[in-house]
Amino acid sequence: MILLYEHPLSPYAQKVKIALREKHVEFEPRIPDLFSGGDAQFQAANPRQEVPALIDGDTAVFDSTIILEYIEDRWPTPSLLPASAAERARVRMIEELCDTYYEAINWALAEISYFRRAGGALATELTARAGEQIAGVHAWLERALGKRAWFNGDAFGWGDLSVVPYVAGSGGFGFAPPAGSSLSAWMERVRQRPSVARCLGEALAAMPAFEQVGALIESGSFVREYRDHRLEWMMRSGGRDIVLTGMTKKNVRFAVEIR
């Protein structure tokens, strides 16, 4: 049985779960223990201590994109990638933009809404900035989709599972694609797929527990990771003091040092 370390609210883990289910690969989802001394198997599978991490027998793979590549190599049928090199590059670029730009915006909204990193005027300002940026991403995705039924082309695939966690995530914060847009129509279609519907249902079921993490963060028991694109978003969008306060309270961390 494939073991997948994940969290239902992680868009990176959602991509992998959708891919496995589209290929009808059975797996055991497991949320790693990050509180009572850590999970040794998880730490061995991913030295960065981030979900997702996949264990297939003696093989351990981390990073959602590398896991998707492993899944495609390990279970090539049905293929989730388009046929041509140019089309494969196109959907991988869509994935890259969503993973390293769109993700940071939704993540910041969670920091504000659920983890209460900001309140009052600052929360309003940061939320407005996030909304502007999401509108820009949605316009870009609308152009990327064009007249295609799917981001992948004629059939659902890699491009679509790379986009849906982020569009669904921002929709949960009140920033859904514009009504009547091609992106909105695509989202309605993609929600009908069993793999996507199950994944989004798991995320929704996890939300009540997620809302309790704010107190754990304030106490320093749970530390959020600020690195790469997430740190960049805060620094350029007006959240500099959030970062500095979190560092002082020790409830903000950067990449784990590998030993």
For 57-73, b/e burial (b = at least 16 CB within 10 A) is eeebbbbbbebbebbbe
Helices (H), the chain: 11-22, 40-45, 64-74, 85-97, 103-113, 120-145, 158-172, 182-190, 194-210, 213-219, 229-237, 240-249
Tokens of 222: 């749970």
Q: In the predicted model, is pLDDT for residue 209 greater than 90?
A: no
Residue 96 clears pLDDT 70, i.e. is over it: yes
Q: Where are the domains of the chain?
A: 2-74, 85-210
pLDDT tens for 167-193 read 999 999 999 999 999 999 999 999 999
- Give the pLDDT of residue 248: 94
Q: Does residue 37 surpass a pLDDT of 70?
A: no
Q: Is the pLDDT of residue 157 over 70?
A: yes
For residue 214, what pLDDT band results from cuts at 50, 70 and 90?
confident
Q: Could you say which of 3.40.720.10, 3.40.50.300, 3.40.30.10, 3.40.1260.10 is the CATH number of the domain covering 2-74?
A: 3.40.30.10
pTM of the model: 0.96
CATH class of 85-210: mainly alpha
Cβ 127 vs Cβ 109: under 8 Å: yes
